[in-house]
Amino acid sequence: MSTTTNGQVCVVIGASHGGVNFAFNLRREGWEGDIILYDIDKEFPYHRPPLSKAYLTSEEGTEQSLLFPKENYEIDNVRLKLGIAVESINRDSKFISLSDGSVQYYNKLVIATGARPFIPPIKGIDLARNLYHMRTAEDAVNIRKAFNTSSKKQVVVIGGGYIGLETAASLRKLGASVVVLEREERILARVTAPVMSEFFTDLHENNGVKVLTGKNVISIEQEGDTNVVVCDDSTQFEADLIVVGVGIRVNTELATETGLNIENGIKVDETARTNDENIYSIGDCTYHYNPHFKCYLRLESVQNAVDQGKVAAKTMCGEEVVYDTIPWFWSDQFDVKLQMVGLSKGYTDIVIRNEEAENSFSAWYFKDDELLAVDAVNFAKAFVLGTRFIKSGQKLDKLKLADLTIPFKPNSFLAE
């Protein structure tokens, strides 16, 4: 480190993947001062991807899936303040005001506030019984409890994105009668190509989930102890339990009120620093530049939050480094693991490579001759190799890529 940080204080707002990983990375990079994390969630920091999967289908709770063991916080002297909300940031005096009436001074501040579920303007949604979102461990526990105490176990999932589909798959495994209602003409319309939408529609329907598209929910009514979900085409669906997964709202209120630059999120530079030299931001709430894709992005991704946290920690400790990684994501539904790398937006050509095993294939997205992204279904090799090709910028022969007689090896698909 170029300068000592002994006696300085780094405050982190948000103790999920980005905030917690940042804190431990900051200590590893040599930060000598205090590190304090605040989060309104009372649960000890836990992995969030299993919420719509393992948390719903087991009674173990979050203790088996902590981001870091509890003793590590003591070992690394990372102070965790849970169940406390940050109400304001004073940039001039460099302190935050807290919901318990106290204030906390900082030398450096990291905003990792993430996002919250979007509440759609559906008539009667605030009066619906057993209606939940899927964002926190408390949400998962409440859904499981409501399901276990329901007699008919009829579930309506509003929204055919990854969270909605994962939740539908988990509840179906538990024996629920599940209907997914998607407003667009296909599920996953915002994030993937029609071929993937078709595959996951078939996957769910083959496992007993009813997937209906072009269904715009306009109201939720009550008939006795049952909800009735009403669409604008007059179709109706009874529901003992409703799960809403129609998107998120970025938590930028604190940043906005204190005058930080906001553009589709908290705008940060290549080091995750905001327009205030003492304030950084990481994770779902940020709008950052990606050098590979040559554009600004806001990503809802654990990988992005963790990687930005590493860059911010190194920068704060005096190392010159920039954020330059290829986005990747994953989703588990029934017996399918989907691994995605890159961003397919703007693709002009798609190559499908079907493997011999059932439900095993990969979709390769190109913009002319440039490989943009790969979706790998039950085929980790395609994910690994696709990542390598995207990073290197190597040109591929699309005909070879689609030919199953050609071995799946790094040099098999290179263009001559």
Please report the domains of the chain, with CATH numbers, ordered by start residue: 9-115+249-316 (3.50.50.60), 125-246 (3.50.50.60), 335-402 (3.30.390.30)
Q: In the prediction, which pLDDT does 56 show?
A: 78
With beta carbons less than 8 A apart as the criterion, state whether 394 and 369 touch. no
Q: In the prediction, which pLDDT does 239 show?
A: 96
Query: Which residues of the chain carry a pLDDT beneath 50?
Result: 1-2
Q: What are residue 216's phi and psi, to 5 degrees?
A: -95, 110
Query: CB pairs under 8 A, 24+ apart, for 47-51?
Result: 47/17, 48/16, 48/17, 48/135, 48/136, 48/302, 49/302, 49/330, 51/134, 51/135, 51/136, 51/137, 51/139, 51/140
Q: In the prediction, which pLDDT does 53 show?
A: 77
The alpha helices in 133-288, defined as continuous H runs, are 137-149, 162-173, 194-206, 253-257
> Residue 78's closest CA among 138, 35, 16, 19?
35
| Number of CB atoms found within 10 A of residue 127's CB | 11
Determine the residue type at 195: V
Helix, strand, coil distribution of the chain in percent, nearest 5: 25, 30, 45
Q: In the prediction, which pLDDT does 2 show?
A: 46
Q: In the prediction, which pLDDT does 61 show?
A: 67
Round to whole Å and give the CA distance between 364 and 252. Answer: 35
Instruction: Using DSSP bridges, classify how beta strands 295-297 and 328-333 pair: parallel, antiparallel or unpaired.
Output: unpaired
Q: How many helices (H) and strands (E) does the chain have?
A: 10, 26
Q: In the prediction, which pLDDT does 3 show?
A: 58
Handedness of CA 113, 322, 314, 256 (dihedral sign): negative
Write down how long the chain is.
416
Q: In the prediction, which pLDDT does 1 show?
A: 43
Round to whole Å and give the CA distance between 388 and 383. Answer: 9
**Each residue's pLDDT tens digit, 352-368:** 999 888 899 999 999 99
**Each residue's pLDDT tens digit, 36-80:** 999 999 999 999 888 887 777 777 667 778 999 999 999 999 999
What are 241's two structure tokens?
A: 């339990």
Q: Three-class SS of residue 381? A: helix
With beta carbons less than 8 A apart as the criterion, state whether 318 and 2 touch. yes
